[in-house]
Structure 1
Amino acid sequence: MLRTSLAIAALCLLGFPFSAIAQPLAIPPNEAISAHMEKGPDLSDFVRTCPPGLNDTPAMPQHYGQATILNMPLNRVFAIGQQTFITNFNACDGAGRPATTGTGAERTPDPAMGPRFTRVSAPETSSCAGCHSQPQPGGAGDFVANVFVLAQAADPVSRIILNEDFSNTWLERNTLGMFGSGAIEMLGREMTTDLQAEQQSAITSAEASGASVTVNLLSKGVSFGALTANPDGSVNTDAVVGVDPDLVIKPFSRKGAFRSLREFTVTAMNQHHGMQAVERFGVGTDPDEDSVDNELLIGDITAVTIFQAALPAPIVSTQGIDRATAVHGAHVFNEVGCTGCHIPSLPLKSSQFCDPDPQNLAGTFNDTSQSYCFNLSQTGIRGNSVAAYTDLKRHVICDSNKPHYCNEPASPLQASDSNYAIPGNQFLTAKLWDTGNSGPWGHRGDLDTIYAAITAHGGEATNSESQFEALSNSDQLAVVTFLKTLQMPILPPNQDPNVNMSNRNPVPNGR
């Protein structure tokens, strides 16, 4: 019933056409950084200048403390975050990390490699928008923008002779779109709360009864298996599926590795640009030995996090598409069982987004007394329904008959932010709500048609994929046509990443 009703809701949307990151292994901070984080560091606003002897200017001279950001209206914070997102950081800003790897671990600087770019092990781009560029800043990325996860935890590898398959060695990842991310994070937080409450209830019952208690884990109609609580307070998570044993939904990255936009942003800034945030690396420190400290303040990270969270939710657009075919394709999409994982819509209990996430780990700002909040209705979320076509659960989507999505090496495995290894054949259910303008497709971005992305599915998707392949040509095309109606909206104006943003630009409302 749930699947059918959600599909019907999607069809209703089709009747009203609206106008309009990869991720590397997360390493916990060391004890010194953790202790620093607990003090809740903050710095006042300042204007950066270049280090002595570097006769140029920073690309991002103005920096903001958290206190300043908290006193700004949403449109102003959005504009500052957008500017940060599209800024091409340079050496005066602190870009590059000659003495550290992408995890922050020490390495011996190699002058022959240069302080800035190493295409495989990174830094490999000057700005966030260098990869998140299609159809505009904050969107997805072309194949050329792919990153190589785990290589960023190593010394520079660009000049090392590698084996023939970068993908198999370095876990190649294509860039995901960030539109609607605020709603996605809040879904993850609410689902985490549900699952952990169910666990605590089982623990309480087991302690009271003196016998083990098994509870089914269910949130928003999505099953995550079961766990057994024992009278001594311990739990057995062997039957938990689709989520780490800590029951924290991690809705960001292809494999579900990060719990929050902020955590994702702090990590990506260091790994992809060599820009260190003070909340993770400390105030007044220069761990990467590039002669620049305090590269990104807490307020800077808040602004770029809020920008991503406030990007409008994807929409349904039938411009240039036959509406009747799309409506039929939505019916067929449901009938063959694709909505079993790609659930058309998930409900939010609250449309209020607040950063930071209180469950952010040490090394990512988590002081909720300094939260910046706004209502997700301003991003186009209507009726607390998030039509993202996902269940925010990991699934096995490949097998020996359909091996395309099984390209991960046996070892090492990518780990989530809480350091649980994620099986190589498991991926987070893709959010399809931006499928129409987020190609190429697949976690490597090596599939240039939606049809190919569908037919590459195996594993848990075998039955649905087989039903899809048994469809007539016209029905298959109808499903593809339907998916092409799910698109990221275009913000006015569609800024070139190298053009300075005006702070007068309003926050988009998704309509």
Structure 2
Amino acid sequence: MHPKNSFLILFIAAALLGITAAPRWAQSTHPSDIGREVAVPRHLEDDEEFLLPIRKLIEHGQELFTANWTAQEGAGRPLAKGTGAPLSDQTEPLIFPRNFNRISGPDSNSCAGCHNSPFGIPGGGGDIVANVFVLGQRFDFATFDPRDRVPTKSSVNEMSQNITLQDIADSRATVGMFGSGFIEMLARQMTGELQAIRDRIPPGGSAPLVAKGISFGVLSRRADGAWNTLRVEGIPAVSLVSAGASQPPSLVIRPFHQAGKVVSLREFSNNAFNHHHGIQSTERFGRNTDPDGDGFVNEITRADITAVTIFQATMAVPGRVISNDPAVEAAVLLGEQRFQSIGCARCHVPSLLLDNQGWVFTEPNPDNPAGNLQVNEAPTLSVDLTGDNLPSPRLKPDPSGVVHVPAFTDLKVHDMCDGPDDPNQEPLDMNQPPGSMGFFAGNRKFITRKLWGAANEPPYFHHGQFTTMREAILAHGGEGRTARASFQALNHYDQDCIIEFLKTLRVLPPGTRDLIVDEKGRKKKWPPVHPQTAH
């Protein structure tokens, strides 16, 4: 018998005998809680996640996501970096007045402190004030004081070079998690399709890599069986690593982080709780251990991480708001057509298909890296993402048994910069080993931005320094240069129509039932039966 199942059997047996106890989330205040200042007074015990109704699990996940963590429950990491590694200088712990740092972290009290837009929805995007300094967490406490020469302590990098605000980290916009369960499941299915092709390639052979109709180039093997990824495209470097013929590249699609770094919502959450808040999960840091030296153990449980993962995975999907004004309707319709004809849709693919019940989200993700819950370490938890009991609106299977996910992405990474002097290039490459030459060579590759919900989740581009979608279009370089030139070649009205089309792609107000609505929130049929002629 799987050891994790014993808890469930004991619980069921106790229920039959009428001796069940309320789960911790439902218990009343204990006298020892008087005067205690914590954001989450009750955590889930491991395996409780399988006993709660899905709505209660989501509620607990939202409680964790919106919690303003305090020092009385493990917030802060006095002796640990945001990477989880020990401080470079243990003699200067991250305690007041060094307990928060906007660049190296901890940098926030709550996940929802940054993820809250639009409508104040927990899990949404964020203003540029909420930008995250990705990779800044490899420093203890950023100060830029040139007198401090300890590498990755405060002022010099792994190569003992002075760092500046411009090159210590990659400044990234906070993106929303709307529809993210569908995105993770698309990535899992695409990974499976690519791996199936890989596993059929004999020594000396090659094969085109195609998943969901998206081309990822060609994977080859030499006569000795060694793998050649030189013609593979759109897959992050970390998924192309091979240590020999018997260890093929994983080809894992990584749909989270704007450079395609993170496999799953669970990995994203484990990383973020430690980086941003100093809250260390048991599955990453161990039970009854205190690696960050704050005097607290078991700060967030495996069951808690499952809850916050399910909360994010079941967030409502974005939809469209299209005005009933005939002039606007005509412009939107033409804008959709031009979006296709000038090549935007080659990368911003309007819809990808989930089949074979791929809309049933399961935990854990089979591709989770070490330090995150693995398959067979706990029972599988499943949630039907199309269920009516989840936040609306929802995607539904069509009559052929597939779910169309209209995210406007291909989940590939693309070079989006016009050479090394393009100001959109990032100073660091998070998909290379920290401190390596490749790491410091910078990054020009970004996952195709999901456009669903884009219109009311500004700012734009990976760095969030553009206030309009037009600016973002005109900044497309590298592999996006041709589409940019085609946009610029359009007359002004046609350009405006593309913008008007993009303005319809919105996160809908909470409780909206339909995916396409008019300006008053009423269900709208689109495209119209008798479209207006654009002028």
Would you say 1:73 and 2:53 are equivalent positions? Answer: yes
Would you say 1:472 and 2:491 are equivalent positions? Answer: yes
Choose the corresponding residue for 2:410, options 373, 391, 398. Answer: 391
Contact 1:257-1:417 at 8 Å conserved across structures: no
How far apart are residue 43 of structure 1 and its match? 10
What secondary structure is seen at the aligned counterpart in 1 of 2:288?
A: coil
Choose the corresponding residue for 1:442, options 437, 458, 461. Answer: 461
What secondary structure is seen at the aligned counterpart in 1 of 2:208?
A: strand
Choose the corresponding residue for 1:251, options 255, 277, 290. Answer: 255
Q: Which whole-Å CA distance do the structure 1 matches of 2:434 and 2:57 have between them?
A: 30
Contact 1:166-1:172 at 8 Å conserved across structures: no
Q: Which whole-Å CA distance do the structure 1 matches of 2:360 and 2:322 have between them?
A: 30
Q: Which whole-Å CA distance do the structure 1 matches of 2:304 and 2:432 have between them?
A: 25
Q: Which residue of 2 aligns with 1:357?
A: 365
Contact 1:148-1:167 at 8 Å conserved across structures: no
How far apart are residue 118 of structure 1 and its match? 0.8
Tell me the TM-score normalised to structure 2 length.
Answer: 0.77
Query: Which of 1 and 2 has higher RCO (CA within 8 Å, sep 6+)?
Result: 1
Contact 1:313-1:381 at 8 Å conserved across structures: yes
Q: Which residue of 2 aligns with 1:120?
A: 103
The 1:73/1:86 distance shift into structure 2, 3 A limit, reads same
> What runs of 5+ residues in structure 2 fail to find an aligned partner?
9-22, 147-154, 156-161, 241-249, 388-392, 398-402, 513-535
Contact 1:402-1:456 at 8 Å conserved across structures: no
Q: Which whole-Å CA distance do the structure 2 matches of 1:417 and 1:81 have between them?
A: 32
Compare 362-371 and 349-358 and name the one that shifted more.
362-371
Choose the corresponding residue for 1:380, options 386, 394, 413. Answer: 394
Q: Which whole-Å CA distance do the structure 1 matches of 2:271 and 2:379 have between them?
A: 21
Q: Which whole-Å CA distance do the structure 1 matches of 2:100 and 2:3 have between them?
A: 34
Q: Which whole-Å CA distance do the structure 2 matches of 1:480 and 1:114 have between them?
A: 47
Contact 2:5-2:379 at 8 Å conserved across structures: no
Q: Which whole-Å CA distance do the structure 2 matches of 1:418 and 1:289 have between them?
A: 24
Q: Which whole-Å CA distance do the structure 1 matches of 2:499 and 2:506 have between them?
A: 13
Q: Which residue of 1 aligns with 2:179?
A: 180
What secondary structure is seen at the aligned counterpart in 2 of 1:77?
A: helix
Q: Which whole-Å CA distance do the structure 2 matches of 1:67 and 1:300 have between them?
A: 10
The 1:288/1:101 distance shift into structure 2, 3 A limit, reads same
Compare 343-352 and 163-172 and name the one that shifted more.
163-172
Choose the corresponding residue for 2:127, options 139, 142, 146. Answer: 142
How far apart are residue 490 of structure 1 and its match? 2.4
Contact 1:43-1:65 at 8 Å conserved across structures: no
Would you say 1:217 and 2:209 are equivalent positions? Answer: yes
Contact 1:314-1:488 at 8 Å conserved across structures: yes
Q: Which whole-Å CA distance do the structure 1 matches of 2:432 and 2:45 have between them?
A: 29
Choose the corresponding residue for 2:141, options 156, 179, 199. Answer: 156
Q: Which whole-Å CA distance do the structure 2 matches of 1:70 and 1:251 have between them?
A: 26
What are the within-5 Å matches in structure 2 for residues 365-444 of structure 1?
A: 365-368=373-376, 369-378=378-387, 380-383=394-397, 384-400=403-419, 403-406=422-425, 408-409=426-427, 412-415=428-431, 424-444=443-463
What are the within-5 Å matches in structure 2 for residues 98-109 of structure 1?
A: 98-107=78-87, 108=90, 109=92
How far apart are residue 403 of structure 1 and its match? 1.9
The 1:67/1:141 distance shift into structure 2, 3 A limit, reads same
Would you say 1:131 and 2:114 are equivalent positions? Answer: yes
Tell me the TM-score normalised to structure 1 length.
Answer: 0.81
Q: Which whole-Å CA distance do the structure 2 matches of 1:334 and 1:126 have between them?
A: 43
How far apart are residue 324 of structure 1 and its match? 2.3
Choose the corresponding residue for 2:292, options 270, 285, 288. Answer: 288
The 1:285/1:457 distance shift into structure 2, 3 A limit, reads same
The one-letter amino acid paired with 2:111 is: C
Q: Describe the superposition over 1:63-103 as per-residue Cα deviations: whole angstroms up to 9, x where unpaired.
A: 00231111222211111111111111111121111100011
Compare 56-65 and 266-275 and name the one that shifted more.
56-65
Bigger radius of gyration, 1 or 2?
2
Q: Which whole-Å CA distance do the structure 1 matches of 2:144 and 2:35 have between them?
A: 30
Q: Which whole-Å CA distance do the structure 2 matches of 1:461 and 1:376 have between them?
A: 33
Q: Which whole-Å CA distance do the structure 1 matches of 2:468 and 2:455 have between them?
A: 11
Contact 1:402-1:457 at 8 Å conserved across structures: no
Moved over 4 A (4+): 38-50, 161-165, 416-423
Would you say 1:266 and 2:270 are equivalent positions? Answer: yes
The one-letter amino acid paired with 2:334 is: H
> What runs of 5+ residues in structure 1 fail to find an aligned partner?
1-37, 207-211, 494-511
Would you say 1:61 and 2:41 are equivalent positions? Answer: yes
Compare 445-454 and 468-477 and name the one that shifted more.
468-477
Q: Which residue of 2 aligns with 1:236?
A: 228
Contact 1:280-1:364 at 8 Å conserved across structures: yes
Q: Which residue of 2 aligns with 1:25?
A: none
What secondary structure is seen at the aligned counterpart in 1 of 2:200?
A: helix
What secondary structure is seen at the aligned counterpart in 1 of 2:453?
A: helix
More helix by percentage = 1
Q: Which whole-Å CA distance do the structure 2 matches of 1:218 and 1:40 have between them?
A: 38
Compare 466-475 and 153-162 and name the one that shifted more.
153-162
The 1:201/1:142 distance shift into structure 2, 3 A limit, reads same
Would you say 1:481 and 2:500 are equivalent positions? Answer: yes
Contact 1:441-1:453 at 8 Å conserved across structures: yes
Q: Which whole-Å CA distance do the structure 1 matches of 2:395 and 2:384 have between them?
A: 9
Q: Which whole-Å CA distance do the structure 2 matches of 1:264 and 1:436 have between them?
A: 24
What secondary structure is seen at the aligned counterpart in 2 of 1:316?
A: strand
Q: Which whole-Å CA distance do the structure 1 matches of 2:6 and 2:274 have between them?
A: 19
The 1:377/1:418 distance shift into structure 2, 3 A limit, reads farther
